[in-house]
Amino acid sequence: MLKRFNFLVSTIIICFLFLGFSYKGEERYVKVRRVIDGDTFVIENGSKKGERVRLIGIDAPETRRTARKEIGYYGVEAKEHLQAMLTGKNVKLVFDVGKKDRYGRLLAYVYLREKFVNAELVEQGYAVTYTLTPNVQYADFFVKLERQARQAKRGLWK
């Protein structure tokens, strides 16, 4: 009985530690080295390769063919737009609950001065809403922007 109790208490403590740990609201200022595609870019971090950042809550069409995906309609335009907006610029990364994805990329909401980059890409039709838990802070907002872009036939909705 005591072993079962100890196990239960240990399990509860571990759950509280994991559930209570969040990066939400943490900010970091960085310089953008290069853009990979319409929703991913590389930042300076002192290493030769830099560090990859994936924009939370959105998905831009693919810009290159892989084993699993084809080049997407409006993918090149999305990449070019993000390149023009971010390359060489200093941006603010704001984290939600989860800080990295399964590929080791930082997951962030990105701001260029006062411009909310994630929202801008959806609003202009360069990306669609793509929300994965636990990072859902702006999910409803992105859905609204995507609906407006679709109705106005902007970007990939032409």
Q: Which of 105, 120, 123, 146 is catalytic?
A: 105
Predicted confidence at residue 64, as pLDDT, reads 85
Q: Which of 52, 54, 120, 146 is catalytic?
A: 54
The pTM score is: 0.83
Q: Which of 26, 44, 51, 62 is catalytic?
A: 62
What is the rounded average pLDDT of the residues 24-51?
A: 95
Hey, is 127 helix, strand or coil? coil
The mean pLDDT of the chain is 89
Q: Are strands 106-112 and 115-116 parallel, antiparallel or unpaired?
A: antiparallel
pLDDT classification of 20: cutoffs 50, 70, 90: very low
Question: Cα–Cα distance between 82 and 60 in angstroms, integer?
Answer: 10
CA atoms within 13 A on the CB side of 95: 17
What is the rounded average pLDDT of the residues 3-17?
A: 51
pLDDT digits (tens, 9 = 90+) for 69-103: 888 899 999 999 999 999 999 999 999 999 999 99
Would residue 105 show up in a list of annotated catalytic residues for this protein? yes
